Structure 1
């Protein structure tokens, strides 16, 4: 999360959400389904698998202090709540509209639906629109905790300078506008996705602290190895999902620790903002069954 390269215009369908097309060298956003069964608990142990539900839209609502958007995610599926509020007709349209707003999609169904979202949630849409304008102007944007986006490269500034010359051709001007919009899409997403990464870091810290308490001071964890002296421990994290390997007798406590840490992360970052950060959580013998 918090990736530092501009994203082109397309959206790619993912397991949880549509993803922007981008640098092919970027890290994976999920473990492929074909190999998930290989992630299995030891005998007498189980896996606690948790995935932050609709994390980035919820982070946007909290960042913008958009009460209406926060209310849409209280105790329910945010996409379904947007439909119930009459903003769009279907859950798929709600998802496309929100992702289009965060990733800067201006064409197709996503682009068509974004104006409807802006009328319903003006504070949230104003925040990402402002970040996009800053990027188009070549300015930095920052996450909630102050991480700054990179400035455009020298080649970007050269394109903009060429377009400002009196003899600039229409093709040069189009190229400059396209480059500006591309960088604006990057900064639009940077503030949301970067802050979501900060939420995830707080979540992980809270989980580790709570798992240590479950283990207890009189049961030291081994430095390495498969069983950690019967202590629940974090074994996997990617994007907005984690796995805890826990003795069966501690599974409920480990699950509570993961949930409590998610709620705490929201409070640490956003104070009294009325935004919930629910999890999709399963206790299972192997990852493919989660």
Structure 2
């Protein structure tokens, strides 16, 4: 059963029941906003519906603030975005009412993000805008259910919508919970690496020392190393003919200024990304509460808005610290994308290699003379499109060992180069090429054709990775959804742990110490359940490495 939540003109909330096909069940109910949480809690307990709203972020944070957790939902915006672009549903001609619109992305460009959630205020404010009315939501839900039913792979699309919607609930719950964060430890780490907290816009003492060292080696006493233009001029005057200040390029030079410059850049990045200003802005009441953007990247990977949640550097991970009487249970899915490729391609030989905890070592033993580094370079080159240089040299051997896996990503690349879309296992399709890209492919001059060929190759690298990264994102969402349910069951047995962090192939649970091992078991069980959901009986294992620790830095 579905229950639509929608604002009413008088400021109350309409609750409309529909069956699995979107047909109404009985008359609408209404609830005054102060009574909504308790009414929803009653319906959740007695009927266990799938809640329907434009976006979970419009409603669910308010329920969480009121102490009410919901098990299932259908997020119309997320599902609409997935269905509208899916090749599986192309014949249904479905067009989403609520999915965000964005220009197709050029490979290598910035990836489109979802718009900022609306109505993030209290659920019980007098006049919040929680979106369209019940009739519009009902119309959209019926259109989505019809698109799924008419798709070439309805079961997969149904699972994709369920996974994205569950992800929306998880994202809201993780933001509400927050990562336990020790500000005193963070301050100590900053002081150790940067010096005491500076006043105003001054550089921290140790960072200024490094800047002075750099100025001395470059013979530029007034250099502002934070100015790219000044820095490039100083480098060129010193005979360092770098084209950029990227670390990989700077390391090609042997000048004595290079090492202090690299060290300065590292410290400056720490100050900018996770320094005192970050601590003041993002840590409240001992918790870091980032805002996750579900399917914020076109592949379906999550993004975050502010706070850099998906890039917590090693220098400050010790500040992510369990509360007294608790542990952090940190787990990551080992070599996730290569395992996903083995399952996608139904490559029995690679699947056999994926039975081992270290897939790269097994591949190295099979055909690279035991050289794990070469096996890793070859396989990641196949997935990410690095098919020149060392990766290109090793590719024929990889193709000989695992012809189906290599052929799978090669076909995705060829499709992309031709301007076609590619699709993940559950049905998320890559964006169509932009009009600019298509015009370029119709060029006639030699120079334009050179640029067209380069653009086609770029798009091929994008689509090659899209099918693997996107399917890995689907597995990860299913993993979290399954883990979320298992943690709720453990709580019913008095074993409490909450999911507080997610990073592509990694999760973190903050657990009461007696519950830590049970949470670790739940993580493993959820990974196995996610494999079954996506790939059935495919003989590919998805092992997870788990560390039960006091602070995040101890996990790796």
Normalising to structure 2: TM-score of the pair? 0.45
Partner of 1:6: 107
1:135 to partner: Cα distance: 0.3
Matches within 5 A, 1:47-196: 47-87=328-368, 89-162=370-443, 165=444, 168-169=445-446, 171-196=447-472
Does residue 287 (structure 1) correspond to residue 552 (structure 2)? The answer is yes
Report which structure shows greater RCO (CA 8 Å, sep ≥6).
1
**How many pairs align?**
256
SS at match of 1:85: helix
CA distance in 1 between partners of 2:500 and 2:372 (Å): 33
Which ranges of structure 2 fall in alignment gaps of 5 or more residues?
1-81, 83-104, 110-247, 249-302
Distance 1:30 1:72, change over 3 A: farther
CA distance in 2, matches of 1:278, 1:79: 14
For normalisation by structure 1, the TM-score amounts to: 0.84
| Contact 2:368 2:374 survives alignment (8 Å) | no
Could you tell me which residue of structure 1 aligns to residue 524 of structure 2? 259
| Deviation per residue, 1:23-63 (Å, 9 max, x gap) | xxx76654210110010000000010001100000000000
Q: CA-atom RMSD, angstroms?
A: 1.9
Please say which of residues 252-261 and 74-83 is displaced more in the overlay: 74-83
| Contact 1:83–1:91 (8 Å) recurs in 2 | yes
Structure 1's unaligned 5+ residue stretches are: 13-25, 220-229
- Which contiguous aligned blocks of 4+ residues in structure 1 show a shift greater than 6 angstroms? none
Contact 2:328 2:550 in 1 (8 A): yes
Counterpart residue number, 1:34: 315
- 1:196-227 CA deviation, whole Å, 9 max, x = no partner? 0000000000110000011007x6xxxxxxxx
Q: CA deviation at 1:154?
A: 1.1
Distance in 2 separating the partners of 1:30 and 1:241: 12
Whole-Å separation in 2 of the counterparts to 1:52 and 1:6: 27
Structure with larger Rg? 2
Asked if 1:204 is matched to 2:480, the reply is: yes
Tell me the SS of whatever aligns to 1:244: strand
Contact kept in structure 1, 2:106 and 2:433, CA below 8 Å? no
Q: Distance in 2 between matches of 1:66 and 1:281?
A: 27
Select 1:277's aligned residue among 538, 542, 545. 542
**8 Å CA contact retained: 1:88, 1:94:** no
Partner SS, residue 344 of structure 2 = helix
1:83: how far off?
Answer: 1.1
Deviates more, 1:27-36 or 1:254-263: 27-36
